[in-house]
Amino acid sequence: MIRLPRRIARLYSSLRPKSFLPIAPYRSSKRTSPIANAETSTTEAPPRRPTWASRILDPSRSALNLLYSTAKFLLPLFLLTHLAWHYLFEIVSPLGASMLPTLYLSGQWVVLSKWYRRGRGVEVGDIVSISHPFILHEGAIKRVIGMPGDFVLAGTPGMSGVMVKVPRGHCWLGGDNQEWSRDSRYYGAVPLALVRGKVVSRFAPRGERIWFKNPLKKVEGVDEVG
């Protein structure tokens, strides 16, 4: 052990702070191998991100936060469903024999294209769904017989030869099964504003699916008729 001179020892003691206390670093008495540490670190699963369901059902959240989270999730879903149902497509299940053999009595579903709402783009020969002009909250599916300005038979073909002109903003409708159909022969021309959509497809639970196309073709090269 080396002893310093007294002068140097006094100078060193005067410069050294009195509150300084050497603290030895803490060392655990237990020894662990690096291999065990590596195994424990690899087996630990990464933290899972909370889902929207866990956030909503979290009991630590207040009722106001729960209501806000639920509305934040359901409101956009409701708006998207509403827009798609009213402006894109709609699925309905028609009943009745008025459109036999095109549509069954029951047990089928038809797809309506809402692009043709209010008669936009509808042509003679198309199958449309309308809000019933005399029965509230009821609908009907008929085939377009005449558009504004067309002349059509007012009654059943072969029974009446009276011709009428379809007024502006209206259409003339008829069922494919005329014996069991109540259509424009009974309640007259239907406003185009009542057209809910155009029937574009039919499918049944058995897996049958049919796409409807307009059976009429435009006549080319004819200027005048009659």
User: Residue 83: what are its φ and ψ, rounded to 5°?
Assistant: -65, -40
Out of 114, 142, 184, 198, which one is annotated catalytic?
A: 142
CA 164 to chain centre: 42
* Residue 182 burial class via C-beta count within 10 angstroms: exposed 0-12, middle 13-18, buried 19 and up: middle
CA 127 to chain centre: 24
* Residue 200 burial class via C-beta count within 10 angstroms: exposed 0-12, middle 13-18, buried 19 and up: middle
Out of 29, 60, 69, 98, which one is annotated catalytic?
A: 98
> 165 an active-site residue?
no
Cβ atoms of 152 and 166 closer than 8 Å: yes
> 142 an active-site residue?
yes
DSSP structure class, residue 190: E
* Catalytic annotation, residues: 98, 142
